[in-house]
Structure 1
Amino acid sequence: MPKVRSVFLSDIHLGTRACQADRLLDFLREYPAEQTYLIGDIIDFWAMSRSIHWSPAQNTVVQKLLRRARHGDRVVFIPGNHDEALRDYCGIVFGDVEVVDELIHETADGRRFLLIHGDVFDQVTRHHRWVAVLGDKAYDLLVRLNLLLSWGRRKLGLSGYWSLAGYAKRKVKTALNFIFDFEDSAIHHARERGLDGVICGHIHWATIREIDGLSYVNCGDWVDSCTAIVEHFDGRLELVAWGMRSMVPALSAPVVLHAEV
């Protein structure tokens, strides 16, 4: 497949059982890009402090991203809260991979987007870290339960991947957005800086939509939804949901669905 101009990925959570590394590898093979932006929580140091699960596929993900950088494609890593230890190295280049705290990306059609993980817009993460850590442990429990459910689905001959954690998240998304106003905070920040929008991650909820005249774009994750944002050479942004048979949340922008074979 021809290259796209840019690929935006977030919340891969390498080092955990939840990471859908095999699906991510398939996506990366299908979408070579001139620019690859890794927008936080790529490595889950929080989870790895409890236990480490590093599969061969996860190792291959790292190798493939490094190979992109070695071959001259731009690869930028913006740390998130789960890999915040790497924020100490912002401004440094490792193996041709740039590490930055945030970045202004200009699309091919001239729009300027703030690239940032997004935990700065999350009031829980910023001011109530113990709640965030507790939530992370609860999420880890849901992931472990999901492994049992996946085993059961395979035994029953049910195809596709279904996420218990994703289902629970969809049920509470409206309440969480109302309480913490994550998306509105992100757009407000972009407006204050005179930008056209923001591309972020953090909340594991992929979308492309307009909010008060600006573009709010979230990459989603490679735990539940297996989603990414791609930029075409005309500047058009598109949300890709990879390897999922079930429908992703309703969006105001086109979505490319790829089912497993």
Structure 2
Amino acid sequence: MKSKAVRKAVFPVAGLGTRFLPATKAVPKELLPVVDRPLIQYAVDEALEAGIETMIFITGRGKNAIEDHFDVAYELEATQKARGKDLSALEGTRLTPGNAIFIRQQEPLGLGHAIWCARDVIGDEPFAIILPDEFMHGSPGCMRQMVDAHEQIGGNLICALEVPMEQTSSYGVIDPGARNGALTEVKGLVEKPAPGTAPSNLILPGRYILRPEVMTILERQEKGAGGEIQLTDAMAAMIGQGAFHGLTFTGQRFDCGSKIGYVEANLALALERPDMAADMRKIAENLLAATPAA
């Protein structure tokens, strides 16, 4: 039987973004731009490309600007139109009440709790999860690749990414089974394993398609690593109850939750832009030539 279509995506955006202070004191980290589009816009564009119809944003205090970003900016649009300005830069920034839902996570109890906050909207459908600060760059996009695979195999599907073994202690890690091309059977999941104990170098870089049963598990789940309700623990509980695979993403990943990854993303995308690439390459070369090696 063909699996249900993935029509809904959850965006956990309630975090405080403390690694980017003071920039994030008043501006949500999800609105920090990569060149000229905020991280959350890239994430929503990725979902739209994948055929997602309903965007569910799990927000927190001080995150109203995210809702404003996806609303109509009447004064801005009217002024630009009156001046004969091009409004194409605002394409994709309007989400109607029918396809944008904002839910507040009132307590910082972790990613698993944030996902659980969307339970009434998800209902009995499979759904996607996209972490905006994990910037997945490619064509087709990461979620498009995952949705296409999910239509064929169903079950639970998570994005898998190979990293050096010494980095695995910072992520959820897959205990792999059989591999078939880009697909890897998931036999187990470990959240932030101690150095030297990871079962593989396949990490979970923030893209998931999960069965709705995960909500029932999160409902009764106790706190795990870091004193938070871990999504990885809930997913691990579903292993063996149906198909569960990791899909290796064909594209680039930038960890925009870190300053280095964020700067890298800006540089990489600027170097891809026809209107910027030549100038950016000269700037980078000049800076490298003028800066002594550390």
TM-score, scaled to structure 2: 0.29
Over alpha carbons, which structure has the higher Rg?
A: 2
